[in-house]
């Protein structure tokens, strides 16, 4: 047989192709090994990233739950299952909370508050009775006399110093009591303030008997006595402060009023000095400030302007006028008729222990000055002065 008819061994026995791979020749081995290597290396990333493969399955799983399932989950756990895709689409009305009232049915806050008040207190009271409550107390207080002297008398042995004095002072009056020396002015003021017990008669301060209820009566009194004795080893500030404390004021009010009175009487520069180092005029002013510090209804002043300089006298007079204008009552003794006529609206004239004239300043003085009227009432003897001719003959 010829060579052409002999079969080629390589052509007659091809490699089996069961796996679909090419014949493993020398030229394709490296390629096959590379292909096999690449195929075995790729599954590693697939197993290393399970999240990438599970995301498509997890995302559809959560929104698949219905609104009823979420409500059931909330009723058992108290919370709505948290999702990332359906959070905005899930309405809060599906929860177990009570739905809010529509805006149209809500009432204004003021109307709701009025309804609650009406339910608690009942219907609104009629405003008609209100003026009756406000008007009834005022006349009773304004018509009551602040000071009443009823047949007041004082006897020292055989000497009758005060003889049956009857006097009444209304709120807001400024009364000056005048008379010659020894006429009984200081004795009368001492009985009014509780410093001297009367022989007969009684004294009422704001309707309170001074001798039966002295503590109640003296709360309404501010006193400046004639022979002034005070705690002169205290400073001016200490004297005013402790006077206020003794009258029942609290510490803050006592300090505030001390400062205000010191400024009003222009003695703030002397508040740190001892009272014993004060002049007579300064002592009068600090004592008057102490009489005013508890805001009394009645001021009883015995010679308040004695030893006071004219500038300070103007300040003191203005303070007393303002006190009377505010409803306070002032009873002041003085020997200066011109001062009484200038600052007082009422005057009482006492001679030999008896009240011989009283009323407004214009009623008492008539068509003359108060000085001339007083001299006429006191009965001054001009002839006794003319008899002192020996004064014209000088000694030596």
- Residue 150 near residue 209 (C-beta atoms within 8 A): no
Distance of alpha carbon 382 from alpha carbon 91, whole angstroms: 115
Q: Is 116 inside any structural domain?
A: no
Is residue 366 in some structural domain? yes
Bigger pLDDT: 165 vs 5: 165
pLDDT tens by residue, 215-263:
999 999 999 987 777 888 999 999 999 999 999 999 999 999 999 999 9
- The predicted pLDDT at position 136 comes to 37
CATH number of the CATH domain containing 357: 3.40.50.300
Q: Can you give the pLDDT at residue 252?
A: 96
Among 7-21, 25-39, 72-86, 277-291, which range has the highest average pLDDT?
277-291
CA–CA gap between residue 21 and residue 15 (Å, rounded)? 10
Of the candidates 313, 284, 314, 315, which has an alpha carbon nearest to the alpha carbon of residue 301? 284
The strand order across the sheet containing 208-209 reads 159-169, 147-156, 200-205, 208-209
pLDDT digits (tens, 9 = 90+) for 177-221: 999 988 999 999 999 999 999 999 999 999 999 999 999 999 999
Angle between the N-to-C axes of helices 280-292 and 310-325, in degrees from 0 to 180, rounded to the nearest 10:
10
User: How far from 131 is each of 21, 125, 128, 134, 223, CA to CA, in Å?
Assistant: 118, 13, 7, 5, 38
Q: Residue 344 belongs to what domain range?
A: 142-220+333-396
- In contact, 342 and 318? CB cutoff 8 Å: no
* Banded pLDDT at 391 (limits 50, 70, 90): confident
Q: What is the pTM of this model?
A: 0.61
Whether 87 is covered by a domain: the verdict is: no
Q: Is 208 exposed, middle or buried (0-12, 13-18, 19+ CB in 10 A)?
A: middle
Residue matched to tokens 């006529």: 341
Domain count within the chain: 1
Over residues 262-269, the mean pLDDT reads: 93
The pairing of strands 159-169 and 147-156 is antiparallel
Q: What is the spatial distance between Cα 324 and Cα 171, in angstroms, rounded to a whole number?
A: 8
Is the pLDDT at 54 greater than 50? The verdict is no
Helices (H), 297-354: 310-325, 337-343
Tell me, what's the pLDDT at 112? 53
12-51 burial code (b ≥16 CB/10 A, e <16): eeeeeeeeeeeeeeeeeeeeeeeeeeeeeeeeeeeeeeee
Helices (H) and strands (E) in the chain, counts: 18, 10
Instruction: Determine the length of the chain.
Output: 396
Q: DSSP secondary-structure letter at 274? A: B
Q: How far apart are the first and last CA of the chain?
A: 207
Taking residues 75-100, report their average pLDDT.
48
Note whether residue 381 is domain-resident. Answer: yes
Asked if the structure places residue 79 within a domain, the reply is no
- pLDDT at position 381 is 58
Structural domain contains residue 243: no
Q: At residue 60, does pLDDT exceed 50? A: no
Distance (Å, whole) CA 265 – CA 316: 7
**pLDDT attached to residue 386:** 61
Residues 317-338 have a mean pLDDT of: 93
DSSP 8-state class, residue 283? H
Residue 96 forms part of a structural domain: no
Predicted pLDDT at 204: 95
Res 383: pLDDT: 53
* Residues 263, 116: Cα–Cα separation, whole Å: 53
CA dihedral 190, 196, 197, 201 (to 10 degrees): -20
Domain presence at residue 173: yes
Quote the distance between the C-alpha of residue 66 and its chain's center.
65
Tell me the pLDDT tens digit for each residue of 129-187.
444 334 334 434 456 899 999 999 999 999 999 999 999 999 999 999 999 988 999 99
Asked if residue 45 has pLDDT above 80, the reply is no
């Amino acid at each position: 047989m010829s060579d052409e008819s002999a079969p080629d061994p390589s052509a007659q026995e091809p490699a089996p192709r069961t796996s679909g791979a090419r014949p493993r020749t020398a030229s394709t081995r490296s390629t096959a090994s590379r292909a096999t290597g690449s195929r075995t290396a790729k599954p590693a990333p697939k197993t290393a990233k399970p999240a990438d493969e599970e995301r498509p399955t997890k995302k559809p799983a959560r929104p698949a739950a219905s609104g009823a399932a979420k409500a059931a989950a909330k009723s058992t756990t108290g919370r709505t299952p948290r999702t990332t895709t359906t959070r905005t689409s899930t309405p809060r009305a599906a929860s177990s909370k009570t739905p809010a009232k529509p805006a149209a049915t809500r009432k204004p806050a003021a109307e709701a508050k009025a309804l609650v008040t009406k339910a608690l207190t009942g219907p609104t009271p009629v405003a008609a009775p209100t003026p009756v409550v406000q008007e009834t107390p005022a006349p009773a207080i304004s018509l009551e006399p602040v000071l009443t002297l009823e047949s007041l008398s004082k006897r020292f042995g055989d000497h009758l110093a005060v003889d049956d004095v009857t006097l009444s002072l209304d709120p807001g009056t400024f009364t000056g009591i005048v008379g010659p020396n020894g006429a009984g002015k200081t004795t009368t003021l001492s009985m009014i303030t509780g410093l001297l017990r009367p022989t007969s008669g009684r004294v009422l301060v704001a309707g309170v008997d001074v001798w039966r209820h002295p503590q109640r009566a003296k709360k309404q009194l501010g006193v400046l006595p004639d022979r002034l004795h005070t705690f002169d080893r205290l400073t001016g500030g200490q004297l005013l402060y402790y006077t206020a404390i003794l009258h029942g004021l609290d510490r803050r009010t006592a300090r505030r009023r001390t400062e205000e009175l010191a400024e009003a009487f222009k003695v703030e520069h002397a508040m740190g000095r001892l009272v014993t180092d004060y002049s007579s005029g300064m002592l009068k002013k600090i004592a008057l400030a102490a009489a005013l510090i508890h805001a009394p209804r009645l001021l009883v002043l015995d010679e308040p302007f004695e030893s006071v300089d004219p500038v300070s006298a103007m300040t003191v007079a203005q303070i007393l006028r303002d006190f009377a204008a505010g409803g306070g009552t002032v009873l002041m003794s003085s020997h200066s008729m011109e001062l009484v006529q200038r600052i007082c609206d009422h005057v009482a004239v006492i001679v030999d222990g008896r009240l011989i004239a009283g009323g407004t300043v214009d009623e008492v003085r008539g068509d003359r000055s108060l000085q001339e009227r007083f001299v006429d009432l006191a009965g001054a003897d001009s002839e006794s002065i003319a008899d002192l001719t020996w004064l014209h003959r000088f000694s030596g």
